[in-house]
């Protein structure tokens, strides 16, 4: 299974956004990175009836996708979940004309990742259908309480609890650590006082894996584990739980409200905690209207542009939003771009009870010391 995650077909999708260090090429993919062109196709023969039937199926698919796009647009979601199929053929006299897909190039890195993930998940689902995962989750180690693990150190120390990220690489930063031993890093984080760990499982863009998640889970680590994945399908929730995850990330920039509602319910059902990630006011307002969300992450990095600005955490917690969050007793996590004790103090002041940190601690020779440096003191006691 893991070889599939890192298999040739997926690793080889050419990407204009991906850091050169782990980029390969393959022409088998349906969505390419050709310069968007509007090509008029002119077939000289009229279509036989079977072709026309296929085309009307395509028309239906096109309509469904269009209406999905409309739902996304009304919620302010810019990310398209799949490459557009393009308009169906138009008949003009004895000729068939159609405009070739103009929009089948991802508009940004997040869109590219999501399109890849969709293909990847479809392949994985074929190999491991849901009913096999349902059996597997009964055998998985019982889930740990992610939110309780965050609240305890915050109540004890008054400092934000740390979710320390096991992260080898990212599309914006390239490889963060060459000598990457996920289990050693996880142990060092735990020793340094991390409350929970986040483990990147995306292979193509972050050089992570589910093997890492499983290995950390089986290495005697007691911190609850967040599976850091791009969830586009409920099947992935079951897969994450089967691999030992205690929590998963749901990205509001990718998932419409209905998916968030449905997925948070499934999470509850199978014992996973959902960390719902927002990046702007619109996403925050959408998520605050959804019942049952207990944990919200504010990402200081815009996943479409890679811009990092830690004042984003403050901005989204000001005024009525902050009030509503307190009323609902939601735990907020400040995510990304935190490097110094001043940064930690800044987001704490803004109202977060936990922080999610990768780069600044994973890059340190000794990540245990990296944590003490980040907080300006030893938080392990």
Ligand X SMILES: O=P(O)(O)OC[C@@H](O)[C@@H](O)c1c[nH]c2ccccc12
Q: How far is the CB of 292 from ligand X (least distance, A)?
A: 21
Q: In the beta sheet, which residues pair with residue 295? A: 331
Taking the least distance from each CB to ligand X, the nearer of 47 and 282 is 282
* Sheet of 40-43, strands arranged across: 40-43, 95-99, 90-92
Is 211 known to be catalytic? no
Question: What backbone phi and psi angles, to 5 degrees, belong to 6?
Answer: -105, 15
Is 228 known to be catalytic? yes
Is 335 known to be catalytic? yes
Is 265 known to be catalytic? no
Give yes or no for residue 165 binding ligand X (CB under 6 A): yes
Site for ligand X in 238-277 (CB under 6 A): 277
Is 57 known to be catalytic? no
Binding part of the chain for ligand X, among 2-10, 48-56, 261-269, 334-342 by CB under 6 A, reads: 334-342
Give yes or no for residue 111 binding ligand X (CB under 6 A): no
Q: How many residues bind ligand X (CB under 6 A)?
A: 14
Whether 38 and 99 have beta carbons less than 8 Å apart is answered as yes
Site for ligand X in 71-110 (CB under 6 A): none
Whose CA is closest to 257, among 233, 288, 287? 287
In the chain, how long is the greatest CA-to-CA distance? 80
Q: Would you call 369 helix, strand, or coil by DSSP? A: helix
Q: How far is the CB of 374 from ligand X (least distance, A)?
A: 10
Which listed residue (117, 167, 243, 314) is catalytic? 167
Taking the least distance from each CB to ligand X, the nearer of 167 and 286 is 167
Tell me which of 335, 353, 370, 372 binds ligand X, using CB under 6 A. Answer: 335
Taking the least distance from each CB to ligand X, the nearer of 100 and 302 is 302
**Which residues have CB under 8 Å from 282's CB, separation 6+?**
76
Is 299 known to be catalytic? yes
- Taking the C-alpha atoms of residue 109 and residue 170, their distance in angstroms, rounded to an integer, is 11
- Taking the C-alpha atoms of residue 291 and residue 267, their distance in angstroms, rounded to an integer, is 14
Which listed residue (212, 299, 312, 360) is catalytic? 299
Binding part of the chain for ligand X, among 11-19, 86-94, 319-327, 357-365 by CB under 6 A, reads: 357-365
Is 277 known to be catalytic? yes
Q: Which residue pairs from 207-210 have beta carbons closer than 8 angstroms and sit at least 24 positions apart in sequence?
A: 207/22, 207/168, 207/169, 207/175, 207/180, 208/166, 208/167, 208/168, 209/2, 209/5, 209/6, 210/1, 210/2, 210/5, 210/239, 210/243
Taking the least distance from each CB to ligand X, the nearer of 113 and 137 is 113
Give yes or no for residue 334 binding ligand X (CB under 6 A): no
Q: How far is the CB of 63 from ligand X (least distance, A)?
A: 32
Which listed residue (96, 277, 283, 359) is catalytic? 277
Distances, alpha carbon 54 to alpha carbons 31, 59, 379, in Å? 20, 9, 63
Give yes or no for residue 359 binding ligand X (CB under 6 A): yes
Whose CA is closest to 177, among 201, 204, 223, 208? 208
Taking the least distance from each CB to ligand X, the nearer of 104 and 171 is 171
Site for ligand X in 287-326 (CB under 6 A): 299
Residue 300, sorted as left (phi over 0), alpha (psi -120 to 50) or beta, turns out to be alpha
Angle at 166 (CA atoms; ends 165, 171), nearest 5 degrees: 90
Taking the least distance from each CB to ligand X, the nearer of 167 and 314 is 167
Site for ligand X in 192-231 (CB under 6 A): 228
Tell me which of 106, 193, 337, 367 binds ligand X, using CB under 6 A. Answer: 337
- Catalytic site residues? 165, 167, 228, 277, 299, 335-336
Enumerate binding residues for ligand X (CB under 6 A). 165, 167, 228, 277, 299, 335-338, 356-360
């Amino acid at each position: 299974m893991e070889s599939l995650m890192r298999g040739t077909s997926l690793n080889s999708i050419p990407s204009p956004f991906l850091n050169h260090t782990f980029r390969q090429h393959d022409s088998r993919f349906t969505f390419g990175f050709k310069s968007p062109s509007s090509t008029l196709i002119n077939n000289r023969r009229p279509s036989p009836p079977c072709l026309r039937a296929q085309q009307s199926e395509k028309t239906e698919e096109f309509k469904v996708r269009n209406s999905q796009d409309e739902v996304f647009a009304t919620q302010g979601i810019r990310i398209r979940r799949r490459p557009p199929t393009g308009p169906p053929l138009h008949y003009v006299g004895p000729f068939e004309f159609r405009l070739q897909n103009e929009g089948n190039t991802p508009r940004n890195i997040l869109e590219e990742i999501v399109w890849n993930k969709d293909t990847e998940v479809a392949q994985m689902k074929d190999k491991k259908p849901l009913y096999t995962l349902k059996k597997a989750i009964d055998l998985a180690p019982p889930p740990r309480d992610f939110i309780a693990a965050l609240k305890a150190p915050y109540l004890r120390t008054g400092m934000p609890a740390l979710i320390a990220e096991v992260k080898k690489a990212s599309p914006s930063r390239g490889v963060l650590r060459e000598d990457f031993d996920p289990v050693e890093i996880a142990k060092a984080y735990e020793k340094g006082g991390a409350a929970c760990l986040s483990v990147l499982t995306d292979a193509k863009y972050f050089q992570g894996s589910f093997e890492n998640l499983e290995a950390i889970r089986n290495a005697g680590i007691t911190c609850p584990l967040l599976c850091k994945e791009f969830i586009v399908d409920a099947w992935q929730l079951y897969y994450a739980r089967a691999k030992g995850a205690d929590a998963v990330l749901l990205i509001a920039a990718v998932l419409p409200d209905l998916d968030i509602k449905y997925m948070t319910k499934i999470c509850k059902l199978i014992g996973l905690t959902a960390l719902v990630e927002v990046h702007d006011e619109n996403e925050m307002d959408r998520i605050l209207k959804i019942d049952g969300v207990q944990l919200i992450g504010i990402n200081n990095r815009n996943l479409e542009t890679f811009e990092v600005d830690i004042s984003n955490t403050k901005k989204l917690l000001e005024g009525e939003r902050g009030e509503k969050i307190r009323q609902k007793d939601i735990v907020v996590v400040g995510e990304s771009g935190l490097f110094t004790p001043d940064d930690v103090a800044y987001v704490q002041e803004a109202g977060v009870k936990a922080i999610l940190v990768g780069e600044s601690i994973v890059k340190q020779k000794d990540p245990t010391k990296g944590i003490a440096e980040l907080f300006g003191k030893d938080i392990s006691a």
